[in-house]
Amino acid sequence: MQVHHTGEKPFKCGICEKKLFRKFDLRTHLATHAKQRPFRCAKCQRPFKEEVDKKAHEIGCNYRRYQCYVCNVSVRFVTQLEGHMRTHHTGEKPISCELCGARFTLECNANLHMKN
């Protein structure tokens, strides 16, 4: 009655002072303050506090297939991985401007340059 009619939030986080409607919501909220997340998705490396949460996530995480061998970033498409490698690791600039010869890591940057 109190929650639905007065808007009272009787459960208060002792860490950040956030107020919540239900005790269950407070327990869930408290997990956000915990730093330990030992369970990682095998496909995207996202960390989880509980193994059941990791397993539930992994069921729908079949689209992240390409992983950087240097920093473990996961991406959906091989072209994204190629761009990531150029931008963050190799510094390769294979795309050049047809007019001035300027070189770019990504085609979108070359196209923007050409527009200007």
At 6-58, the pLDDT tens digits run 778 888 888 787 888 888 888 888 877 766 777 888 777 788 878 898 888 88
Find the domain containing 108 and state its range: 77-115
Contact 51, 41 (CB under 8 A): no
Residues 42 and 72 in one domain: yes
Residues 82 and 58 in one domain: no
Does some domain include residue 68?
yes
The residues, any chain, with a CB within 8 Å of residue 40's CB and separated by 6 or more, are 46, 47, 48, 54
The owner of tokens 């992240």 is 64
End-to-end CA distance of the chain: 62
Does some domain include residue 4?
no
pTM of the shown model: 0.43
How many domains, the chain? 2
Residues 107 and 89 in one domain: yes
Q: Mean pLDDT of all residues in the chain?
A: 83
Residues 56 and 67 in one domain: yes
DSSP 15: T
Distance CA 40, CA 30 (A): 20
